Structures are given as C-alpha cells and as structure tokens.
C-alpha cells in the first residue's frame, strides 16, 4: 500500500505526514482488455496529483490488427512496458509472462496492479503481484460459465481468488463471488467498463464509412465472429458452423470479421472452398474497434462466440446469437438481446430464422452499464489505496 513518510528536513515542519503519489500499474494483453483498461487509465490521469499510471502490454496479441489499432482507436498512450509474450500454449504464455512481469514489478514497486478479463496474462500478472504481497484489482470479476473445460473459467476463478479488489459488472457476478465465500469487503459492483469505451466512441463510430466501404446497408446484414478454440480447433464443429452460415447468408448477407486463429484453422482443415462458395458472405481481416462498433450497431443480427460482443449488442439493442453451450454473461440473456444457441448447425439456422422473423426488441441495458464504471473504479482506488 502507499507509504506515509515523515519529513523532518530543513525548512519543513517536523511531524507532518506527506503522502507520496501512488503507482497504479495497469495490464493489457488481448483485444478485449484494451476497452476495459482505457477508461480507467483516462480517469486515473485526471487525478495525477494522487496517482501515477504505468501501462504494461504483455504482447499476447502482437498482430497490428489485434493490438496497435486499439491503442489508436481508444486514444491509449504507448505502453510503458511491452513484454513481448506472443502466442503459444497456455503454459508457455504463462511462463513468459511470469518471467517478464517480475522484472517490471521489481523495478516499479507499484501500490496496485490492475488486471482485466480472463486471458492467461491476467492470471500470470495477478499471481506475480501476489507473490510480492502487492494488492491486485480485477476488472470484470465474478463472471462464471460453470464450464471448467474453458481455460478462461480457470483464469477467472484463480484471478478472483488472488485479488483484493473485485470490480464486478453485474449482480450475478456479486452472487457468484458470495457463493464462493468471498468477503463482501472485496466486492465492488461498478458496472461494465466496456460500455464506457462504447459510449465514449459511439459518435466517432457513427461517422465511420465502413459500411460504404464494404457495400453494406444498415439493418440489412449480419455480423459473424469466431475465435474460441472449442469452435475453431475442432474441424467437425467448425465445418458445421460454416455450413449453418452458408444457409443463413442465402437469406441475409453476412460479414465475417475473421480472427487470425480462425483463418489459420479454416485453411488447415481445407474449408476455404466452403467460404468461397458463399456469394453473400464478405470476409474481412480483424476490424478496428471503431469500425466494429459501427458494424455491430447497424447489423440486423450478430452471430458470435465472443463475450464482449454479447455485451456490446445488448448495449445497442441488436439481436445476438451466441454460438456456445454456455456463457459467463447471463445478464445479456436475462436483460439484453442475447440468445445462447450452441453449435448444432440446425439450431443455429433455426435461431437465425426466428430472430429475423421478429422485430428488434427495444434495448434494455443492465444496471450501471451507464458509461461511468471507470469513475466508480477510480473512486474505490482513491478510497482504499
């Protein structure tokens, strides 16, 4: 925690406690983390008399389209440290992060380490800080899918166990933590910080010409994203999903923003011809944040396995079909526009047909998804650090 020093030097009244500026170290790694950290960094920079922010990029996403573009779109400064972790297996990424991040902690001695989400470096950095008895704050704490076959679920559980400050986005996250025996004084429901980024940049997104560039008409196309290993690393599952998309695009033109991992697997499983045969499918490289916001907001339907898109479509009131068997964001189903449909091709097609047959429901946004989550996070930090 912050150290209080007593100044007795010449010209200074003895016995007066002088509080030093606290160092807050924020970690980003994979694509969704940028949207969660950027608003917090912005709020911390408004109180520079109290805090000095240090930004660490682990480099899990090193492709410019998956990393650099987000620094530009979100107005993030260049990171103070870039660890260059890169890709690889979960243990390999964890090991490289642990070694590299230890050097940063040894040099900076921060008062708080802020991590976000559920990727490998999130857990590695929380673990490193805990070994050095440094407090950890976890943004997006308390989410649970109840599926421990997902590496992300293990990361969520362990990161929450290591964190002193658990910043939750919704009531169900609070309930999950309470059921696990977490002390209430560690739980702070602040809302969804991703919505802070969305609302701040929504006017910029509205002005984007991405629809014109792709030849799309607002409300007359669907958006597709796929990246989870359970969907893209199994050739049968991936082929089935692509088969479903083939049927849907015959009725509704689709934009497929293709993750590098997904593109690689489509080629490896010799499924490129399946995509090439879809006349109403537009395949793009990964899109920048602002472009993705515009395409989501104006879409008639979104099909995805992304957690972030489940939240963003709820904020926009756009129907979302989640191609997974479970979700750690049930609030987007209970209060939002999301529907969990699994990966069975027939179920996907039927769900798409049903969504297109119904008018878009009026958007209802969960409590505290108001664009001010980062303000609440910084207030907690100011009070406790």
Residue 241, judged by CB atoms within 10 A of its CB (0-12, 13-18, 19+), counts as buried
Closest CA to 254 of 228, 229, 225: 225
What is the three-class DSSP state of 17? Answer: strand
Query: Comparing C-alpha atoms, which of 53, 159, 71, 82 is closest to residue 115?
Result: 159
End-to-end CA distance of the chain: 6
Residue 227 falls in the annotated catalytic set: yes
Whole-angstrom distance, CA of residue 327 vs CA of residue 334: 12
**Measuring CA to CA, which residue among 296, 300, 261, 294 is closest to residue 280?**
300
DSSP, collapsed to helix, strand or coil, labels residue 113 as strand
Identify any residues that bridge with 25 across adjacent strands, giving them in sequence order.
54, 113
Residue of 310, 295, 297 whose CA lies nearest to 341: 310
CB 266 within 8 A of CB 239: no
φ, ψ of residue 130 in degrees (nearest 5): -65, -35
Out of 57, 61, 138, 227, the active site residue is 227
Question: Which residues are catalytically annotated?
Answer: 227
């Amino acid at each position: 925690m912050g150290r209080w020093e007593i100044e007795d030097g010449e010209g200074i009244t003895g016995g007066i406690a002088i509080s030093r500026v606290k160092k807050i170290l924020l970690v980003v790694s994979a694509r969704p983390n940028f949207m969660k950290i950027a608003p917090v960094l912005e709020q911390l920079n408004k109180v520079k008399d109290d805090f000095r922010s240090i930004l660490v990029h682990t480099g899990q996403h090193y492709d410019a389209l998956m990393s650099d573009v987000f620094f530009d779109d979100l107005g993030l400064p260049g990171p103070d440290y870039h660890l260059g972790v890169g890709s690889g297996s979960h243990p390999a990424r964890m090991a490289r992060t642990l070694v590299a991040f230890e050097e940063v902690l040894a040099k900076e001695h921060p008062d708080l380490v802020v991590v976000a989400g559920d990727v490998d470096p999130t857990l590695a950095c929380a673990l490193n800080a805990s070994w050095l008895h440094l407090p950890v704050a976890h943004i997006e704490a308390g989410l649970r899918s109840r599926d421990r076959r997902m590496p992300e679920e293990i990361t969520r559980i362990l990161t929450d166990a290591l964190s002193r400050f658990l910043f939750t986005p919704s009531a169900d996250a609070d309930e999950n933590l309470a059921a696990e025996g977490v002390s209430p004084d560690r739980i702070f429901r602040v809302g969804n910080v991703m919505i802070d980024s969305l609302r701040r940049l929504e006017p910029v997104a509205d002005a984007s010409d991405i629809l014109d560039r792709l030849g799309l008409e607002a409300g007359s196309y669907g958006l597709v994203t796929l990246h989870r290993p359970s969907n893209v690393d199994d050739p049968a599952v991936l082929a089935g999903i692509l088969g479903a998309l083939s049927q849907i695009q015959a009725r509704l033109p689709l934009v497929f923003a293709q993750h590098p991992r997904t593109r690689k697997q489509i080629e490896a499983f010799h499924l490129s011809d399946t995509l090439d045969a879809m006349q109403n499918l537009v395949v793009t490289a990964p899109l920048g944040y602002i472009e993705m916001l515009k395409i989501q907001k104006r879409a008639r339907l979104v099909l995805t396995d992304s957690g972030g898109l489940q939240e963003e479509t709820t904020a926009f009131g756009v129907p979302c079909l989640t191609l997974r068997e479970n979700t750690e964001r049930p609030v987007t189903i209970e209060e939002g526009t999301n529907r969990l449909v699994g990966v069975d091709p027939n179920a996907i097609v039927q769900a798409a047909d049903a969504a297109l047959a119904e008018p878009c429901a009026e958007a209802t946004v969960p409590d505290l998804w108001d664009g001010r989550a980062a303000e609440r996070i910084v207030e907690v930090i100011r009070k406790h650090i």
